[in-house]
Amino acid sequence: MIVMKFGGTSVGNAAAIDRVTKIVTRRLRDDPVVVVSAVGGITTLLLEAAQGAKKRSRKGIQLFERFRGIHDGIMRELCLSERLVAEEYEKLREVLHGIYYLGELTPRTLDYVASFGERVSAKIVSAHFCAGGIPSRPYSGWEAGIVTNGEHCNASPLFRTYAIIHRKLAARKKLPVITGFIARSESGEITTLGRGGSDFTAAIIGRGMGAEEIQIWTDVTGIMTADPRVVPRARTIKKLSFAEAAELAYFGAKVLHPRTIEPAMEKNIPVRILNTFEPEAAGSLVVRNARPPGNSIRAIACKKNNILFNLRSTRMLDAHGYLARIFEVFRNHSIPVDLIATSEVSVSATVDGNCAHKLGEIISELGKICTARTVAERAIVCVVGGGIGSTPNIAGKVFRIVGRGGVNVEMISQASSGLNISFLVKNGDADRAVRLLHKEFLER
Ligand code: ASP
Ligand code: MG
């Protein structure tokens, strides 16, 4: 069997949903299980509706009307009964009113509100299969067996989830259309797997079922050698390794949710990234072992808007536990650290710019351990390729090219996995660095 996951754009309107059913119908031989996102833009709308209701603005209720309008429009075009999702509409309306009256919004309630996007889209897609003569049944993530921990808005599946999925879906008689993104905790509360988490759902289901392949159907043709908005000559990478894809999922274009790779890798299930709007294109295939490309470099990724921490202390000289104390501060604020480089007296670390609001507190805590300085608006440029660690002079080439382009490198990190060279530049220099590197390594 295979898992076929369709993202928000792929189920973004009636025509797109119709396209999805045709794509799946052509692959019924492969015994598919379908996973769907909410209609494009709906999760963001729901989160805004909840925030609006909490602030007691009319916006919460207006957004609810828009939610209903969008789905009513789709169902009308697909000739589906408006009663199909009446229950979901009613529950959503009730909870938004509840938030409005209490003026209170917990992460748990936020997850409950966010869940309606996928609950409604799965029902619509499944009903459209039925209307086309393919018996289908919608499943919520929990009906499909996904049990998570209680970390709302960013939950993780429990290990036993895989056996439950297997049991629940083994008995399937009709084509399952499963909600991505949402699940339930052990205590029965609705949880979500983090924004973009439907890919993760697909991988969890794939692992539970021991799928032959996990297909991620999106609106671009696979993982690319660079962001095509920055590098017009960027092209689809035909085949890459899990490890390379993991690097790119995090730093590159948001084609694949970073956590998707793990369940697939654990069971060695190939992940294929395909374009719903160009279904015949081969896309990208992610497998355990992909031969490194001729010049060792697969892609150039970039992530802008990071904050660089420069931490200095002579206490680090010959001392143990110093690094642990520094990272403890980041941990206590739940802030992921992306890049690090250390010397005997200084540590450089970068974090995403979206935690700027916590900066004051962090700096004052770090100030007790070391001298802490920060600079903002920095970009991480990431050269990715499985052959980097085993090819001489890659780093030399990379920095010669970037330097010739007048770009100043502020920090460098190459882990011994030999998979990537990452370095930090000013936001304003990032696109130039990416273009120069792409031209040198990927356009010849
Ligand atoms: N609907 C969710 C989101 O927009 C999950 C997903 O689409 O993958 O974040
Ligand atoms: Mg996505």
pLDDT single digits (tens) 15-69: 999 999 999 999 999 999 999 999 999 999 999 999 999 999 988 989 999 999 9
Residue-wise pLDDT tens digits, 309-327: 999 988 766 678 888 999 9
323 lies in the same domain as 191: no
Give the integer Cα–Cα distance in Å for 249 and 245: 6
Please, how many CA atoms are within 13 Å of residue 338, restricted to the half-sphere of its CB?
27
Predicted local confidence at residue 255, as pLDDT? 80
Positive or negative: CA dihedral 159, 160, 161, 167: positive
For the cut 70, the answer to whether the pLDDT of residue 253 exceeds it is: no
Asked which of 207, 230, 259 is the last residue of a domain, the reply is 207
Ligand with an atom nearest the CA of residue 200:
1
In sign, the C-alpha dihedral spanning 345, 350, 355, 357 is positive
- Chain centre distance of CA 112: 20
Report the CATH number that the domain containing residue 165 is assigned in CATH.
3.40.1160.10
Q: Flag whether 91 is in a domain.
A: yes
Q: Which ligand has the nearest atom to the CA of 217?
A: 2
Percent of the chain with pLDDT over 90: 85
Residue 143 pLDDT > 90 = yes
Instruction: Tell me how far CA of residue 407 lies from CA of 292, 396, 398, 440, in angstroms.
Output: 28, 15, 12, 15
The total number of structural domains that make up the chain: 2
Question: Cβ(166)–Cβ(209) under 8 Å?
Answer: yes
Please list, in sequence order, all residues whose beta carbon lies within 8 angstroms of the beta carbon of residue 278, skipping any fewer than 6 positions away.
Answer: 221
Ligand 1 atom with the smallest distance to the CA of 118 is 1
Q: Is the pLDDT of residue 94 over 90?
A: yes
Query: Cα(36) to centroid of ligand 1, in Å?
Result: 9
Indicate whether 148 pLDDT > 90.
Answer: yes
User: Assign residue 194 a region: left if phi > 0, alpha if psi is -120 to 50, beta otherwise?
Assistant: left
241 part of a folded domain: no
| Atom 6 (ligand 1) nearest CA | 196
Q: Take atom 8 of ligand 1 and give the residue whose Cα is closest.
A: 196
pLDDT at 416: 76
Name the one residue in this structure whose structure tokens are 């970073």.
258
- Return d(Cα 209, Cα 300) in angstroms, integer: 34
List beta partners, residue 348: 310, 341
Judged against a pLDDT cut of 80, whether residue 250 lies above it is answered with no
pLDDT on residue 298: 94
Instruction: Output the pLDDT for position 252.
Output: 63
- Residue 359 Cα to ligand 1 midpoint, Å, equals 28
Average pLDDT over residues 175-192: 98
Q: How many Å lie between the centroid of ligand 2 and the Cα of residue 361?
A: 33
Judging by DSSP bridges, how do beta strands 182-185 and 147-148 pair with one another? parallel
Please say which residue of 188, 207, 226 terminates a domain. 207
Give domain status of residue 45, yes or no: yes
Q: What is the pLDDT of residues 268-289, one digit of tens each?
A: 999 999 999 999 999 999 999 9
The Å distance, Cα 6 to ligand 2 centre, comes to 9
Domain that holds residue 114: 8-207
Query: Do residues 22 and 168 share a domain?
Result: yes
Same domain, 17 and 162: yes
Q: Which atom of ligand 1 is nearest to the CA of 38?
A: 1
pLDDT tens string 152-176: 999 999 999 999 999 999 989 999 9
Question: What percentage of residues in the chain have a pLDDT greater than 70?
Answer: 99
The whole-model pTM stands at 0.90
Q: Give domain status of residue 260, yes or no.
A: no
Last residue of a domain, one of 207, 224, 244: 207
Q: Report the SS3 class of residue 304.
A: strand
367-379 pLDDT, tens digit per residue, is: 999 999 999 999 9
Across all residues in the chain, what is the average pLDDT? Answer: 94
Residue 430, domain CATH? 3.30.2130.10
Q: What is the distance in A from the centroid of ligand 2 to the CA of 200?
A: 9
Q: Are residues 182 and 327 in the same domain?
A: no
Burial class (CB in 10 A: 0-12, 13-18, 19+), 326: buried
Q: Which atom of ligand 1 is nearest to the CA of 201?
A: 8
> For residue 319, what pLDDT is reported?
73
Ligand 1 pocket by C-beta < 6 Å: which residues? 7-8, 37-38, 43, 117, 180-181, 195-198
